[in-house]
Structure 1
């Protein structure tokens, strides 16, 4: 059976489909629970969350589902806080701040990773996934002591190997088609923009843990293709952004459903870290300054108010509209119906293929 893989066995799920843990409010407790209740794996994107807020949402998810779910956190990065660089960045951002009638901030970034890990353990979350690197050995050992399964992210074969060596139970192979932030941590992102179709089989051949394909997968055809390439499952992000349960802003959903395959670009202008999103005025005007902007997460903090106010004032041209390269395959439906259609279509395609052969 196509849905019985090493990944489904490891994570104790029925179907090898993971809803990506997209941070920034997209992954509500409703969408996480809906996906898990449908037999796949829902994921809470907790990267930016205050630990108490994260704990409240975890408790809400546990009230809505008795099935496994994951919490995704960001491995912390600590760039030097350079007041002069921050002042220059805020000057570049001033026209946007003025247009939105909001004030600049100082770029201070709260450290929450350790407290997030403590809450994940306290709430007995079954699965913890990581983006932006590999956590320290003490953190990994601490989570494993509490029997929490760990999923890492890789954009190259070497990064996947590093994840396995560190003790991850599975790894997401994030192809260059994927929306949102790049998970690259071992080398410059420009050298790690490998497409899903190339990345997955090469990764499968070099690690023994389950490989999860991500990037451009939106429907049954993508699921089947990933499995044929040797993946044990898929992770889908953009496909769920437009779902009814998604917490994405309406402008974000509309931008995806009305977009085309050539509309996205990779930019560091919003956060200081490369991310794929729909090209807009903010990206275009800030692109020439990318090399002097603060690194993630400082730049992300500087633009947080702009992104929030832009959504409130219906100015999507200033919003970070993260999306992968398959927006023409997006659907306006519930997360449950999306999953059910993918499962049904997968079985139909495979049955037809087997009968024809």
Structure 2
């Protein structure tokens, strides 16, 4: 049994290791969450692209497989209408690519599939009673926050600045995820309007830990035990890990995405709004390089991806990722293709070893039976 330097979050969540699997919409289902939970971490299910029926089914599979807490994650963005003028401007920007691939530039486009947290979701939480409900892009309305709290769930949300962390605590968050600039996927930005002032994990975590009284989880660029130990030393109670779990066989990314991750470099990603309309970190692609990773022509979230969908489908048929969102953090080069349960145990062992060598308080353990 491991004894970690900070047990606050472990006691709150009833987990063994200070490892939180990042919820990754479109890249995972309950299989990954189950594997992490079995190893003693917090398994998460990304719900932003799932219907209520799908959420109910996935939670049911989790409950059948393991007796452990689960984190259900939702977006709480403002659901903005896509203006026809904005769509037309985006279509014109993409027109040369449509012509290159022989596609009809005026074809009907699929609708965006990311829905914000709603009253219907709150009703579902009252039914399913997850131990943790987490949010990206701030928090939903005070009414919905209180409904979730009444189910007994702990509320988590991501902060990319100290100001966002303080706001989250003041508005009901029980746990704050300090999301550094290195993190893959969507930035949790909700108070700020620019990304060039965003903060790295090493700087962000201790500042947020000093500014709030609730437990802090470090996220961004953490892919091995060294990163977890560093997060704990900086004042975090746990580390949230995303990209490292994409290498696991339980992740649902495409073979092309998996190949891109395996060939990634530390300088191979960039923040882009081209794929969804919000800043997110992806492995660089042709589209990002030619248009520029951040474009004012990209429609509001989550509509930018609709016009890219036909291009992505055609390109991927040819084995290309020119128009694909290849979400990745900056430490993908540290990734290992291990089963998720094994990876979680390895991460815990590595972190304990680093903590012990550095003399971090409380870092003692008895060896685990499993590798």
Considering the TM-score relative to the shorter chain, is it more than 0.5? yes
User: What is the aligned partner in structure 2 of residue 180 from structure 1?
Assistant: 185
Deviation at residue 304 of structure 1 after TM alignment: 3.9
* In 2: Cα distance, 1:325 partner to 1:288 partner: 16
Q: Residues 100 and 246 (structure 1 numbering): CA distance in 2 closer, same or farther, change over 3 Å?
A: farther
User: What is the aligned partner in structure 2 of residue 61 from structure 1?
Assistant: 62
User: What is the aligned partner in structure 1 of residue 19 from structure 2?
Assistant: 17
Match of 1:294 among 288, 299, 322: 299
Greater RCO (CA < 8 Å, at least 6 residues apart):
2
User: Does residue 1:343 correspond to 2:348, yes or no?
Assistant: yes
1:332-352 deviation line (CA, Å, top 9, x unaligned)? 111111111111122223333
Tell whether the 8 Å contact from 1:90 to 1:104 is kept in structure 2 after alignment: no
User: Does residue 1:113 correspond to 2:117, yes or no?
Assistant: yes
TM-score using structure 2 length: 0.89
CA RMSD of aligned residues (A): 2.1
User: What is the aligned partner in structure 2 of residue 88 from structure 1?
Assistant: 89
Q: Comparing both structures, which one devotes a greater share of its residues to helix? A: 1
Q: Mean Cα displacement is larger for which, 310-319 or 56-65?
A: 310-319
Q: Residues 180 and 110 (structure 1 numbering): CA distance in 2 closer, same or farther, change over 3 Å?
A: closer
User: What is the aligned partner in structure 2 of residue 244 from structure 1?
Assistant: 249
Number of corresponding residues:
354
TM-score using structure 1 length: 0.93
SS in 2 for 1:225: helix
Q: Which runs of 5+ in 2 are unaligned?
A: 361-371
Q: Residues 304 and 70 (structure 1 numbering): CA distance in 2 closer, same or farther, change over 3 Å?
A: farther
Written as runs of structure 1 = structure 2, the 5 A alignment for 1:1-357 is 1-2=3-4, 4-24=6-26, 26-97=27-98, 99=101, 101=103, 103-105=107-109, 111=115, 113-114=117-118, 115-287=120-292, 290-354=295-359
Q: Which runs of 5+ in 1 are unaligned?
A: none
Deviation at residue 108 of structure 1 after TM alignment: 6.1
1:39-67 deviation line (CA, Å, top 9, x unaligned)? 10011111122222222212122222210
Q: Residues 178 and 66 (structure 1 numbering): CA distance in 2 closer, same or farther, change over 3 Å?
A: same
Q: Residues 128 and 96 (structure 1 numbering): CA distance in 2 closer, same or farther, change over 3 Å?
A: farther
